[in-house]
Structure 1
Amino acid sequence: MAQILFTHVRPHDVLVEDGRVVPLERRTEDCEVVDCGGLLALPAPVDAHIHPDKTTWGQPWLSRTPAGTLRDLIEGDVAARAGMTAPVAERAGALMDSAIARGTRAWRAHVDVAPVYGLSNVHGVREAAQARGDLLDVQIVAFPQLGLLTAPGTAELMERSLREGADIVGGLDPVGVDGDLHGHLDLLYGMAERHAVPVDIHLHDRGEEGVAQVVEIARRARSSGVPTTISHAFCLEGREDLAETLFEAGVSLTTCALGASPIPPVGPLREAGVPVGLGSDGVRDPWTPFGDGDMINRAHLLAYRTDARTDEELAACYEVAAHGGAALLGLEPVRFQPGDPATFVLVRAESMAQAVVDRPTPQVVVRDGRVIQAGS
């Protein structure tokens, strides 16, 4: 691949060769030059938690019904999706295209597996992902949205999904939904060990009940060596004291900065070495009319929810989306150092902090050294 020099870039010019950043002094005479007019280079973000099988992106408006509990939301989701006519691959693919245009490099996609759906959601999201394999990395989590123990047949489908397109085994509120912490975790970690895959557990349960589940998940992760992520972890709000426990167990976290929901102590967790990623969660689906799959927007929301004010605090929120998400998904970081993947976005901003506040649309999207999107 020929060299490309992205010049007049903040904070410094970027020379790319064979999909990676190389030292500027290696520039050759036939190097292609792209004048970026003072745009800011940002590492491409990662959406570490998204539900693309549920989305109505690109479809007619969906009016949502009131819901007071998690079970209400789950049941409303099933009912609404029964009326969707566009296939999963079409809806998920449309959302992928939008995310790619906004610079997202990878997704961890939580995809419902249940008797009512079979493996159609896994197959549909995998189909959409394979069609865009050179533009977006997609990890699929087999997610038991209707319960793992409480929906008979789900465990068998989860097992099959790991042979038919899923990469990660997912869990959901072992106590709050399934009512059996150890039974739920026995199944999850058993599958993970048999298939040599990670675990990613949704945990909405709050208070000491939620904390007890976090502690047990950490114990399981540490004893098994299975890479483990806890998603949402509302119960960890204000619980900086558990950072060391999570770090020693090798447990990662994701947050989506949702509405009025609690947010784990992102700063102290990162300082303790716990990987923390940021995600969109639901996007225009039966659960919520909000969301757009734009991770610059999501970093803005995280900054707003955590009352970030200084440049350092604002930039840290974008770093959760970029570096935190990359670490969680096992991707190489993009820090614009020689050898790093040349996967980044160029935006109109003076600094990362300003980009988080202003939420600019990427003018240029670069993936492995290729310009895949160029705006005006």
Structure 2
Amino acid sequence: MSMWIRRCRPWGGDLSDVRLDGEVVAEISSAREAAAGPDDVDGRARLLLPAFADVHVHLDSTRLGLPFRPHTGGPGVWAMMLNDREHWRGAEVGITERVAQTLGMMVARGTTRVRSFAQVDVDAGLERLVAVLAARETHRDRAEVQVIAFPQAGLLLEEGSAQVLEDALRAGADVVGGIDPCSLDRDPVRHLDIVFGLAERYGVPVDVHLHEPGDLGRFSAGLILERTVALGMHGHVVVSHGYGLWDGTETQTRSLVERFAEADVATTTVAPGGRQNLPLELLVEHGVRVGLGEDGQRDYWSPYGNADMLDRTWQLAFTHGFRRDELVEHCLAVASRGGASIMDRGLRRLTGTDDRPGLLVGDRADLLLVGGETPTAAVMDRLPDRTVLHRGRVVAEGLELL
């Protein structure tokens, strides 16, 4: 099926007409007066951007759409996990319904690629995983979703944890997760043996949460990098968060970035405040894949998150102190094609802060029309006038699913 997006501005450029042929961008030409076909979309001079890819979200813990509740979590990953464990089953709405609702909200706001964690442990079993898999099925025509089996409680602290993680892969999880192999499980070799062993056995990628500080975090990252290279898993491993990796000397940071690039190990951030930021410019200079995500969304871990990746893009720019349009637009590129290149290794990595991919002839038509004078203005204003396309089909209009 062929259709046109009329009178739009790709990446804020000249007024253009964009023809879609099935799932791909087939033609980009100067805007002209022409009779609209029945399936054509009126761009109304809005910006045309690649749709967002949220590559670090915990759909299984969402409380979006439910009454606001005071934050009750304690300090540290283990205390927060126990607090979540105590409360998640008692939410006002069942987990299957609220996960599907949140994923729908994300799509309606412009996210068509999603990489979601699903906590699997001896308490939850596969219940939370099943809810995320069900949401993926509900929205299968609106978004592409990869599901990560995530051992939030570690793999060695509770008997049976490793078996539940393997059960999750057999049940349909796409990625095997890990978490803080030193500070949580206190046995990085055994922890990574389990994670990478399952990755080999089931032929799936790896995504490790790394909250560990400073030299400890760099030690764990080094072990992950070594295993990635030894197993030939280039392009199939992600280090999520990595808060403490980049607070060393300039030499340490540059050396670690180079190692990430050589192993094609990606990293994802949720743009946290008050912590060491990613060296975004250095990472893109070396071709490291970087993606953005919303993490938990108004859940038992944090009151932040609203299903809007345009809002999180603003946060990424703000927490890095970016003011130049080039760098704010780079945040848009990270939030869209940067994350997409993590989900699809066939997509090329960003090549620089001025790289604006995703709207070229031959690209898959996952697109977002949004109001704004310029891409930077769109990030600052975050207007609701949005049209979302997934694989060449309009799936949401004005923050509502179609």
Q: Same fold (TM over 0.5)?
A: yes
Separation of aligned partners in 2, 1:372 and 1:88 = 24
Q: Percent identity?
A: 36
Tell me how far 1:21 sits from its aligned partner: 1.0
Tell me how far 1:196 sits from its aligned partner: 0.3
Separation of aligned partners in 1, 2:35 and 2:302 = 53
1:229 paired to 2:238: yes
Deviates more, 1:218-227 or 1:11-20: 11-20
Separation of aligned partners in 1, 2:35 and 2:271 = 47
**Residue 340 (structure 2) aligns with:** 326
Residue 299 of structure 1, aligned match among 313, 327, 346: 313
Separation of aligned partners in 1, 2:288 and 2:330 = 14
Deviates more, 1:315-324 or 1:70-79: 70-79
**Residue 358 (structure 2) aligns with:** 335
Tell me how far 1:3 sits from its aligned partner: 2.3
Give the number of equivalent residue pairs. 376
Residue 269 of structure 2, aligned match among 229, 250, 255: 255
Q: Which residues of 2 match residues 117-266 of structure 1 at below 5 A?
A: 117-226=124-233, 227-238=236-247, 239-266=253-280
Kindly indicate whether the alpha-carbon contact (under 8 Å) linking 1:211 and 1:235 is maintained by their aligned counterparts in 2: yes
Which secondary structure does the structure 1 equivalent of 2:63 belong to? coil
| Uncovered stretches (5+) of structure 1, i.e. residues with no partner | none
Separation of aligned partners in 1, 2:89 and 2:362 = 48
**Residue 86 (structure 1) aligns with:** 93
Tell me how far 1:216 sits from its aligned partner: 1.0
* Length-normalised TM-score, structure 1: 0.95
Separation of aligned partners in 2, 1:154 and 1:147 = 7
**Residue 375 (structure 2) aligns with:** 352
Kindly indicate whether the alpha-carbon contact (under 8 Å) linking 1:252 and 1:276 is maintained by their aligned counterparts in 2: yes
Separation of aligned partners in 2, 1:249 and 1:274 = 9
Give the alignment's Cα RMSD to 1 decimal.
Answer: 2.0
Cα deviation, 1:279-332, whole Å, max 9, x if unaligned, reads: 000101000111012111111000000000101111111111111100011175
* Length-normalised TM-score, structure 2: 0.89
**Residue 363 (structure 1) aligns with:** 386
Letter in 2 for 1:57: L
Separation of aligned partners in 2, 1:155 and 1:66 = 25
Which secondary structure does the structure 2 equivalent of 1:3 belong to? strand
Tell me how far 1:197 sits from its aligned partner: 0.2
Tell me how far 1:360 sits from its aligned partner: 2.3
1:53 paired to 2:67: no
| Uncovered stretches (5+) of structure 2, i.e. residues with no partner | 248-252, 349-356
Separation of aligned partners in 1, 2:57 and 2:36 = 42
Deviates more, 1:96-105 or 1:59-68: 59-68
Kindly indicate whether the alpha-carbon contact (under 8 Å) linking 1:87 and 1:124 is maintained by their aligned counterparts in 2: no
Which secondary structure does the structure 1 equivalent of 2:341 belong to? helix
**Residue 325 (structure 2) aligns with:** 311
Which secondary structure does the structure 2 equivalent of 1:60 belong to? coil
Deviates more, 1:9-18 or 1:130-139: 9-18
Separation of aligned partners in 1, 2:36 and 2:331 = 39
Which secondary structure does the structure 1 equivalent of 2:223 belong to? helix
Which secondary structure does the structure 1 equivalent of 2:41 belong to? strand
